Amino acid sequence: MNNHRFHAPILTALAGILFGLLAVSCAPAPEPEPDPEPPKPPSPVAAHTAFHRLYVQARHWSADSLPLRLSSFDLKEVPGKAGRYAVWQATFVSPQKRKSVTYTYSVVKSGTSIRKGVRAGIPEAWSGRGQARPFIIQLFKIDSTKAYDKAAEKSAAFLKKNPDLPIHFLLESTPRYTHPVWRVIWGETRGSAKRTVFVDAATGLHLNTL
């Protein structure tokens, strides 16, 4: 009688262990984790995307920073398309400091001079002279992609004859126009432009074609 009482707990424990082993052996095998997706290649960005990153840095430099100029730069590694570029460069001025700083934003590192992200140049003296004048960012409403669409709309015949010409973008405010203006430039360089279309950066209206 005593032996029966002594062995009962042991038998119960062994039964529990066997039941647990049986449950584990019957459980489905865990599914393998999926392989991590490879990183996506860098893509060119529109002007607004780059500009806001540049503006944040300019405001750290001087709280009264105002944009003076914004321009696109193409990279062979990440070709530009329809108003989107791998590199954008903006010059900001501080009326209080009477200085300017040029900032560069890139989606990828290229060589020794182009770094990924935002890079600040060296502050330089700014006299306020020249055709380009500072403008408030609230007037910069039209992104480079929309400026491209308007310029392409006004250049359909030209593009049929010159489908592979490089395109450059330059945003400035000058006394010639009330608002800051996009220049959409077709040509190997800005100085050797084959065609330039001016688009109002506040309204999106076509202003002129050269």
Q: How many helices (H) and strands (E) does the chain have?
A: 4, 9
- Domain count of the chain? 1
- Is 170 among the domain residues? yes
Q: Which two tokens stand for residue 173?
A: 């405010």
- Is 198 among the domain residues? yes
Q: What are the distances in angstroms from CA 109 to CA 60, 77, 80, 87?
A: 23, 10, 15, 10
Summarize the confidence of residues 84-101 as an average pLDDT. Answer: 97
Q: Is the pLDDT of residue 26 over 80?
A: no
What is the predicted pLDDT for the residue at 27? Answer: 45
DSSP 108: S
Phi, psi of 185 (to 5 degrees): -115, 125
Give the residue with greater pLDDT, 164 vs 66: 66
Summarize the confidence of residues 8-15 as an average pLDDT. Answer: 52
Summarize the confidence of residues 82-99 as an average pLDDT. Answer: 97
- In the three-class reduction of DSSP (H, G, I as helix; E, B as strand; rest coil), residue 157 is classed as helix
Q: Which two tokens stand for residue 106?
A: 């890139």
Task: Specify the pairing of strand 206-209 against strand 195-200.
Answer: antiparallel
Summarize the confidence of residues 24-53 as an average pLDDT. Answer: 75
Q: What is the CA radius of gyration of the chain?
A: 31
Residues 6 or more apart whose CB falls under 8 angstroms from that of 53 comprise 105, 117, 118
Question: pTM for the full model?
Answer: 0.80
- Is 108 among the domain residues? yes
What is the C-alpha to C-alpha distance for residues 185 and 175, in angstroms, rounded to an integer? 20
Q: Which pLDDT tens digit goes with each residue over 111-158?
A: 888 899 999 999 999 999 889 999 999 999 999 999 999 999 999 999
- Is 190 among the domain residues? yes
- Is 36 among the domain residues? no
Percent of the chain whose pLDDT exceeds 90: 71
- Is 145 among the domain residues? yes
Q: What are the distances in angstroms from CA 192 to CA 34, 54, 151, 181?
A: 52, 28, 18, 20
Work out the mean pLDDT of the chain and round it to a whole number: 87
- Is 115 among the domain residues? yes
Terminal Cα-to-Cα distance of the chain (whole angstroms): 112
What is the C-alpha to C-alpha distance for residues 199 and 183, in angstroms, rounded to an integer? 7
- Write out the residue range of the structural domain in which residue 145 sits: 47-209
- Is 106 among the domain residues? yes
